[in-house]
Structure 1
Amino acid sequence: MPAPPKRGTALRQRLAELRGPDVPAAPLDARALAALAANPGCRRRALLDGAGVDKAALAQSLGSPAPFGQSQFAFMRGNAFEAKVKADGGAELLRLVHGRLGGGPEPVPGESSVPDLTAVGPEGRAARTSLALREATEATVATEATSTGRWTLLDHPMLALDVAGTPAFLEPDAVVVHPDGSWTVVEIKSFPMIDGSADAAKVGAAARQAAVYALALERVAAHMDPAPRIRDHVLLVCPKDFSNLPTASAIDVRKQLSVTRRQLARLTRIEDIAAALPEGTTFDVNRPAPDLTAAVESVPATYAPECLAACELAFHCRERSRDEGSVTSLGRSVRGELGGLTTVEAVLSAATGTSGDPADPTVAALRRAATLRAEALSGGGASGGAGGSEC
């Protein structure tokens, strides 16, 4: 009798079945993880991301495509700017790191280390990155007595992070090992930094992504003795004003680290969600739309307006949320204010006095608001009628 497959192998087989035959897994990047951590109660997104389902293709097949993605021009501009920042062995980048964060003597061009991180597959690249980080950190101890100030730049390292029971491989723009042995995450973006400040929403998104990278670095550092310090300030590099010259700012990500760590820990394990699905469920985008819709609806979702900026399935989930009359579709703050009233129908019923406990503060506030609205409409209607008769 053949031995049953190991737990990890069985889970990978199940996730492959959910994607469909011969469909490669879509990579789970830091942007997706940051969005996933922002809405940990959404089992649908957790399962689809964990299984590597292409949500953009899935939304297209469902008839609710979302306008996500970057223009080819912006993509090429971003790549050109990143290449400029990392030119000459990362001399300019290391100068910016030293100027904003310190951590050792000023780097000398040509004397910094840029290790080769090439390897076979994401697992191999992650292992090679861990080894390079260990070697660079140990080298700082050896050079400390001579004060040689050796800096190390890891260009596009590969990091692994366990997310709800399944590994995610992440690729930050860069990680710098300072001569004092500390590590810094570097984010390189093509949006401008004008007069020393950039768009707050874009900076916030970059900080959340960088926090995910820092969490993955914590997993690497935990296997080292002594564990190196991972700086809680990341370096954000952007074009200065309206030029192509790089400038940088140190971004404090302690809050993002705390929130992301807590939210990822709360995520339901992928295998538990998959085990609750009906037999034969698959999200193969080549299947008919009705079958795909049934498969998607078999996984509970938690929609909020914030999903429109972070999830490819947001339009589909918004339509379903509106059909169900869910209060969450109006926003999490509204949902929090309404307490146990979870549908628009229940809210309207409580406001008109058809249902609800008058002693409930939420119900009382709704009825008061309904009364004030009725009075305002009544007064406006009378005034409008008088004006019409005079004309």
Structure 2
Amino acid sequence: MGNGSGTVTGNTRARFEQWAKNPACRANTLSAVHNVPMADVARRLGSRPSFGQSVFALTRGNNFERQILADEADRLLAALVRKDVLPEGAKGLADLRVRMNGGQLPSLPEAIARTNALIRELAGQADSRSAPRPAIIASPTVRIPRGVMLPEAVLILDVLAVRYDRGRPELMVGEIKTYADRGGHTDLHKLAVARAQAGLYLHALELVLAELGCGERVRLRRKGFLVLTRPGSNFPSVRAEEDLHYQAERARRGFELLEAAARGLPPFMPVDDDPVEAVMRADTEYSEACLRFCDRESQCHAAALEEGNPAVLGDDVRRFLGEVDLGRAVVLLDGGDPRTGGEKDLLRRLQRAGAAGPTP
């Protein structure tokens, strides 16, 4: 479900994915690092935001999570045991959800403190004799121990499964989605997005375990699981043994690049204490990807079209034309003389492709 979208400052996963879709755009980087929603920028520019989850989708997701976690997570436990994510006889739920997500904890700081305390208990660093060891941890919340984003980088994971029958306690990352598991016909893009989110959580846990000094006492499994729905029902269907190694590596590298990008930004000086205005004034870099995630894409697309930016025809066209704008490309296609080295190179490539006649 991606519970990281449950709060403003806790929306780290969505902000990371936002930046990763177009890291070349300075405005997009400012928006992600400083948590200035691009939807607010779009409204200021006179557009209606068109991205984000619907109320229906959020409600359905919350209902699904509530049902599979009810009665000490009986439904989810049974599904995880069937797929050998957990062993027979596994039981116990540690519910770390905050109230706004259907739980009992009052705040994110409390959820973070409880998550850290539970990890230390699993690692044997605290007395846990009075509390049973849980097989499922719902909504563990972590603060990433590095200056990736401001004001803070917090992630609310969907679920962790914990095994105790392999020596050290073993944590496995799970991602909950409400779409149906259709076996080999499940949407591949949706599955890729879910794995990417789980990989981000895996990397975040790696950082937190290292910071808490628990990495040698708690094993973090590189294979996780996805929890989807059975077609036509709200019962869980588990996809086990999802390899998250490359997704975690993507997250690690992405955080390093984002951190470098944040350090390279000029000091963030909100215009008259107006951070939206600061993002509005930042340079933009239009990309084909903007059509799929950015609420500001209509203004940027119009500006790119006026400039003759080849990106309006897609990133492949932009890469092919290089420094040549659309207007000059049309002139060359019509037999015009090249003016620059870049235009000469483009004309040669166009001629090889049979798209332009010989140079006059």
Q: Per the shorter chain, which TM-score range? A: 0.7 to 0.9
Distance 1:358 1:29, change over 3 A: closer
Distance 1:356 1:236, change over 3 A: same
Q: CA deviation at 1:175?
A: 1.7
Using the alignment, how far apart are the partners of 1:75 and 1:67 within structure 2? Answer: 16
1:32 aligns with 2:15: yes
SS of the residue aligned with 1:222? helix
* Contact in 2 for aligned 1:43/1:299 (Cα 8 Å): yes
Match of 1:241 among 208, 231, 241: 231
1:129 aligns with 2:115: yes
* Contact in 2 for aligned 1:107/1:151 (Cα 8 Å): no
* Contact in 2 for aligned 1:34/1:208 (Cα 8 Å): no
Match of 2:244 among 247, 253, 259: 253
Identify the residue that residue 16 of structure 1 maps to in structure 2. Answer: none
Using the alignment, how far apart are the partners of 1:211 and 1:154 within structure 2? Answer: 17
1:173 aligns with 2:183: no
SS of the residue aligned with 1:211? helix
Match of 1:71 among 54, 66, 72: 54
Distance 1:345 1:31, change over 3 A: same
Q: What residue identity is the alignment partner of 1:132?
A: L
Deviations 1:348-374 (A, max 9, x none): 4554433244996543112445x6467
Using the alignment, how far apart are the partners of 1:342 and 1:178 within structure 2? Answer: 58
Identify the residue that residue 114 of structure 1 maps to in structure 2. Answer: 94
* Contact in 2 for aligned 1:195/1:241 (Cα 8 Å): no
Q: What residue identity is the alignment partner of 1:283?
A: P
Q: What residue identity is the alignment partner of 2:245?
A: R
Q: What residue identity is the alignment partner of 2:63?
A: A
Distance 1:205 1:276, change over 3 A: same
* Contact in 2 for aligned 1:94/1:107 (Cα 8 Å): no
Q: CA deviation at 1:230?
A: 2.4
CA RMSD across the alignment: 3.4
1:354 aligns with 2:338: yes
* Contact in 2 for aligned 1:193/1:238 (Cα 8 Å): yes
Q: CA deviation at 1:59?
A: 1.0
The count of aligned residue pairs is 333
Distance 1:98 1:136, change over 3 A: farther
Using the alignment, how far apart are the partners of 1:136 and 1:227 within structure 2? Answer: 8
Farther off after superposition, 271-280 or 179-188: 271-280
Identify the residue that residue 164 of structure 1 maps to in structure 2. Answer: 148
Identify the residue that residue 215 of structure 1 maps to in structure 2. Answer: 203
Using the alignment, how far apart are the partners of 1:138 and 1:67 within structure 2? Answer: 48
Identify the residue that residue 41 of structure 2 maps to in structure 1. Answer: 58
1:229 aligns with 2:219: yes
1:186 aligns with 2:174: yes
Distance 1:344 1:176, change over 3 A: same
Distance 1:320 1:99, change over 3 A: farther
Identify the residue that residue 254 of structure 2 maps to in structure 1. Answer: 263
Q: Structure 1 stretches of 5 or more lacking a match?
A: 1-23, 144-148, 285-291, 376-391
Identify the residue that residue 4 of structure 2 maps to in structure 1. Answer: none
Distance 1:373 1:241, change over 3 A: farther
Q: What residue identity is the alignment partner of 2:253?
A: R
Identify the residue that residue 385 of structure 1 maps to in structure 2. Answer: none
SS of the residue aligned with 2:337? coil
Identity value in percent: 27
* Contact in 2 for aligned 1:65/1:315 (Cα 8 Å): no
SS of the residue aligned with 1:365? helix
* Contact in 2 for aligned 1:165/1:271 (Cα 8 Å): no
Deviations 1:195-237 (A, max 9, x none): 4542112112212222221121111111324153322222111
Q: What residue identity is the alignment partner of 1:58?
A: V
Deviations 1:265-314 (A, max 9, x none): 11244364241768647334xxxxxxx4xx44531223212222222222
Identify the residue that residue 363 of structure 1 maps to in structure 2. Answer: 347
Q: Structure 2 stretches of 5 or more lacking a match?
A: 1-6, 99-104
* Contact in 1 for aligned 2:170/2:221 (Cα 8 Å): yes
Using the alignment, how far apart are the partners of 1:254 and 1:191 within structure 2? Answer: 24
Identify the residue that residue 42 of structure 1 maps to in structure 2. Answer: 25
